Amino acid sequence: MKQFSITIAGGGSTYTPGIIMMLLDHQKEFPIRKLCLYDNDGDRQEVIAKACEILLREREPGLEFGYTTDPETAFTDVDFVMAHIRVGKYAMREKDEKIPLKYHVVGQETCGPGGIAYGMRSIGGILEILDYMEQYSPNAWMLNYSNPAAIVAEATRKLKPNARIINICDMPLSIMTRMAGILGIPEEELDIGYYGLNHFGWWTWIKDKEGNDLMPALKEHVRENGYDSEKEGMRHPDPSWRDTFRKAKDVYATDPDTLPNTYLKYYLYPDYVVEHADPSYTRANQVMDGREKEVFSAAREIIEKGTAKDCRFRKDEHAFYIVKLARALAFNTKEKMLLIVPNRGAIENFEPEAMVEIPCIVGKDGYEKIAQGRIPQFQKGLMEQQVSVEKLVVEAWAEGSYQKLWQALILSKTVPSASVAKKILDDLIEANKEYWPKLK
Ligand code: NAD
Ligand code: G6P
Ligand code: MN
């Protein structure tokens, strides 16, 4: 059986240990011969890397492991690059969230002005890693989680059309896991129709493997509770996520024919989101005090003890999804997965040159899209507005255009007026001096 070489870009990410645990779990179905972590912050990465080194030595001693900040070392002899970088790290996420809130506008990692600001930082970071990958391992695939995935995907479609990159998101899977929990069946039982942009989509049908329609039962639940549930094991530990799952009830009410992605709350109920935000303690603060502390303290504990025997690293759906994608490409499993891909007719009555999130069949040669037909006016209108935001951000980045970035903010459904858009933009420019191209 062929054995594969993987580089994780953004080695210092809070998600790296989970992905490594998942890879270890899949050594039989998807054997790895070599694993390398790459990051441009050597100190941050080293904590995660040293802990993973101990873990791997104990659990898979034959596997070659390394970590580096040198691109040539990281990207030579690689089959898959799993990318999850956060350009500007949590310090910049915090600013992305807090600056718009100053003007009573949604402050969110990937939606609205915060997502636009993050996109302006991520594009260069991802294009750089794609260049390294093409230089040192031209046949490799990049599987990209780095956010904002919608803007990163549009940037690569436009600026690097032949790049071997597949952009993905774990949100639909985590909602589907909740759907399965609500119905009391395993997640693998669900077969779906879905269309949209990343963090901006809808399920059109959901059936079990025997073809039974599961939509009526799910709708009945979502109408009352959103994707929240009191069932054993389904209570999300974070109150902010619990609120998001519950709010899906109101998002669902805007179109009872479909079931929505939770991220639509930022576009359809921005007033609610702002009212319930704490402008001095946002999600970035919660994550820095939560996931980041937990993962790094688990890593430090392994290093201090010198063993990962009872380690606190956890694997989850996020890791499952990217490993499943890599395995599908490696072993032609022909699995149906949601991916962010060029539309080109898959959604019949929507912009052909747009990156959309739809089900695809994944195999050795990449993916085949499953056409989703025509979409209703409501979703089409929302998506046209949002895809224009994403396209304008990429144009603004490529051309260094202040005007286009202002237009992107004006078009975002989260921003009430051109004057508010301008105030937010000017603050974001100041905050992102180190990261954005110069705008004229
Ligand atoms: P994190 O800050 O813990 O890790 C990101 C790492 O990237 C850091 O160690 C940082 O030093 C590194 N980095 C930044 N710029 C880099 C560059 N140019 N080159 C190499 N490395 C660089 O962040 P996290 O919370 O673990 O999230 C990681 C990424 O995954 C984020 O982009 C996040 O939004 C994304 N994410 C996406 C999904 C999805 O659904 N697509 C789900 C979860 C997380
Ligand atoms: C989901 C989304 C990701 C996003 C993450 C934020 O997984 O699909 O795109 O990055 O949530 O989670 P956090 O815990 O960092 O707020
Ligand atoms: Mn996502």
Per-position DSSP letters for 210-223, written without gaps between them: T--B-HHHHHHHHH
Q: Is the CB of 163 under 6 A from ligand 2?
A: no
The closest-lying atom of ligand 1 relative to the alpha carbon of residue 167 is 41
> pLDDT value at position 18?
98
The closest-lying atom of ligand 1 relative to the alpha carbon of residue 45 is 9
**How would you classify the pairing of strands 335-342 and 200-207?**
unpaired
Q: Is the CB of 390 under 6 A from ligand 2?
A: no
The closest ligand to the CA of 153 turns out to be 1
How many angstroms separate the CA atoms of 198 and 211, rounded?
27
Look up residue 427 and give its DSSP letter.
Answer: H
Residues 6+ apart with CB under 8 A from 121: 87, 88, 92, 432, 435, 436
Q: How far is the CA of 198 from the centre of ligand 3 (A)?
A: 7
Q: How far is the CA of 192 from the centre of ligand 3 (A)?
A: 18
- Closest CA to ligand 2's atom 13: 287
Q: How far is the CA of 421 from the centre of ligand 1 (A)?
A: 27
In 3D, which of 191, 201, 127 has the Cα closest to residue 375?
201
> pLDDT value at position 378?
98
- Closest CA to ligand 2's atom 1: 171
Let me know the angle formed at the C-alpha of 302 by 297 and 303, rounded to the nearest 5 degrees.
95
Q: Which strands, in side-by-side order, build the sheet including 200-207? A: 191-197, 200-207, 259-260
The closest ligand to the CA of 85 turns out to be 1
The closest ligand to the CA of 174 turns out to be 2
Give the residue ranges of the chain where pLDDT is below 50: none
In 3D, which of 97, 104, 199, 120 has the Cα closest to residue 417?
104
Residues with CB under 6 A from ligand 1: 9-10, 12-15, 39-41, 44-45, 84-87, 89-90, 125, 145-147, 149, 169-171, 318
* Residues carrying an active site annotation: 170, 263
> pLDDT value at position 387?
99
Q: Determine the length of the chain.
A: 440
Q: How far is the CA of 149 from the centre of ligand 3 (A)?
A: 7
> pLDDT value at position 176?
98
- Closest CA to ligand 2's atom 10: 147
> pLDDT value at position 6?
98
| Cβ pair 322, 330 in contact under 8 A | no
Which residue among 84, 109, 283 has the greatest number of ligand 1 atoms within 8 angstroms of its CB, and so is best to mutate?
84
> pLDDT value at position 320?
98
- Per-state percent for the chain, helix, strand, coil, to nearest 5: 50, 15, 35
The closest ligand to the CA of 283 turns out to be 2
- pTM > 0.85: yes
> pLDDT value at position 45?
99
In 3D, which of 329, 380, 347, 420 has the Cα closest to residue 4?
329
Two structure tokens written together for 364: 């050795």
Q: How far is the CA of 145 from the centre of ligand 1 (A)?
A: 8
Q: How far is the CA of 338 from the centre of ligand 3 (A)?
A: 11
Two structure tokens written together for 289: 């005090």
